[in-house]
């Protein structure tokens, strides 16, 4: 067992983990943050996307021990008491989900796209979401939701603390 201390969605946690524990399993099973999901075995689907120190990563392809001392934001850290995050609102507004399985990862990656390209072209949105698969294939509305969110204030904020500022 290895002791790690991690800030997740603004709260600090210290836990003993087996070195082979994947970050996604630490989030889901140790912390109970089941909003982040696993969609594949090959790190292709992006459903498990979270932010590590403000940049998107696939949490099935990171070990929990690697994030010792770092900061993670999951889909559960986006909404505030004031309401949903602007990207969540935009997905809702544009019907950017069907079964919803890819949605947590899509939203986390969509926020990363806006961090990289505050005023993205459609191509930049599509390339930015290249590592996220939607098996319901509802890509068109997802792209529309991201484009619309780009016009909303605060849509690129990477953590709940920043949204409220």
Ligand X SMILES: Cc1cc2nc3c(=O)[nH]c(=O)nc-3n(C[C@H](O)[C@H](O)[C@H](O)COP(=O)(O)OP(=O)(O)OC[C@H]3O[C@@H](n4cnc5c(N)ncnc54)[C@H](O)[C@@H]3O)c2cc1C
User: Which residues contact ligand FES (rule: CB under 6 A)?
Assistant: 38-40, 43-48, 58, 60, 97-102, 134-136, 138
Contact 110, 87 (CB under 8 A): yes
- Please report where in the chains the tokens 């991201």 appear, as a residue: 146
Choose, by CB under 8 A, the member of 18, 29, 122, 123 that binds other proteins: 18
- Residue 112's binding partner among ligand FES, other proteins, ligand X, none (Cβ under 5 to 8 angstroms by kind) is other proteins
- Please report where in the chains the tokens 């590592």 appear, as a residue: 131
- Taking CB under 6 A as the rule, does residue 161 contact ligand X? no
Q: How far is the CB of 27 from ligand FES (least distance, A)?
A: 12
Return contacts of 80-84, CB within 8 angstroms, 24+ apart. Answer: 80/160, 80/163, 80/164, 82/163, 82/164
Choose, by CB under 6 A, the member of 44, 66, 116, 137 that binds ligand X: 44
Compute and round to an integer the Cα radius of gyration of the chain: 15
Return d(Cα 122, Cα 144) in angstroms, integer.
9
Summarize as ranges the residues that interact with ligand X (CB under 6 A): 43-44
Summarize as ranges the residues that interact with other proteins (CB under 8 A): 2, 18-22, 25, 41-44, 46, 49, 52, 55-58, 61-63, 65-66, 68, 109, 112-113, 116, 128, 130-132
């Amino acid at each position: 067992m290895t002791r790690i201390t991690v800030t997740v969605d603004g709260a600090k946690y210290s836990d003993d983990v087996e070195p082979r524990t994947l970050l996604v399993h630490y989030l889901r099973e140790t912390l109970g943050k089941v909003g982040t999901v696993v969609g594949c075995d090959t790190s292709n689907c992006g459903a498990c996307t979270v932010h590590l120190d403000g940049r998107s990563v696939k949490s099935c392809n990171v070990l929990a021990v690697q994030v010792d001392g770092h900061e993670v934001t999951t889909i559960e850290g986006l909404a505030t008491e004031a309401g949903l995050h602007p990207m969540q609102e935009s997905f809702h507004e544009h019907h950017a989900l069907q079964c919803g399985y890819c949605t947590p990862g899509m939203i986390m990656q969509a926020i990363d796209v806006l961090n990289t390209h505050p005023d993205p072209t459609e191509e930049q949105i599509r390339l930015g979401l290249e590592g996220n698969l939607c098996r319901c294939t509802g890509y068109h509305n997802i792209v529309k939701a991201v484009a619309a969110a780009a016009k909303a204030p605060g849509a690129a904020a990477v953590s709940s603390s920043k949204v409220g500022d």
